[in-house]
Amino acid sequence: MSEAYERERQNNARLDQLSAKVSALRGVTIDIYDSARAHEVIESSSETFSSMKTQLKGSASRLGRMAASGNKVAVFKLAGIVIAVVILLYYIWKLAMFMF
């Protein structure tokens, strides 16, 4: 009887060890998944900003050509856009400073 009890105790100890290892493995798996998801978000953001940069560059070159043509209305539009962007950035900066 004592031998069976000892084996049962050893089995329980091994089962506890195995359970701890499975829990650790589950934690590592979840960390890997979270890291991969974060990397995917970073990649997506990088692609979005790259696309935005290309579009902004194209718009700026079109506006520059329009202003170079000597059209006064185009020059006023360009000046208005620049002023609006500066004001918008100023308000965003003030908002960010207010939040922190």
Tens of pLDDT along 45-55?
A: 888 888 888 88
The pTM of this model reads 0.43
Task: Give the three-state DSSP class for 69.
Answer: coil
DSSP string, 22-79: HHHHHHHHHHHHHHHHHHHHHHHHHHHHHHHHHHHHHHHHHHHHHHHTT-HHHHHHHH
Tens of pLDDT along 59-92?
A: 878 877 877 777 778 778 878 888 999 999 999 8
Per-residue pLDDT, 75: 78
With bands split at pLDDT 50, 70 and 90, how would you rate the model's confidence at 13? very high
Tens of pLDDT along 17-50?
A: 999 999 999 999 898 888 888 878 778 888 888 8
pLDDT at 1 over 70: no
Per-residue pLDDT, 23: 92
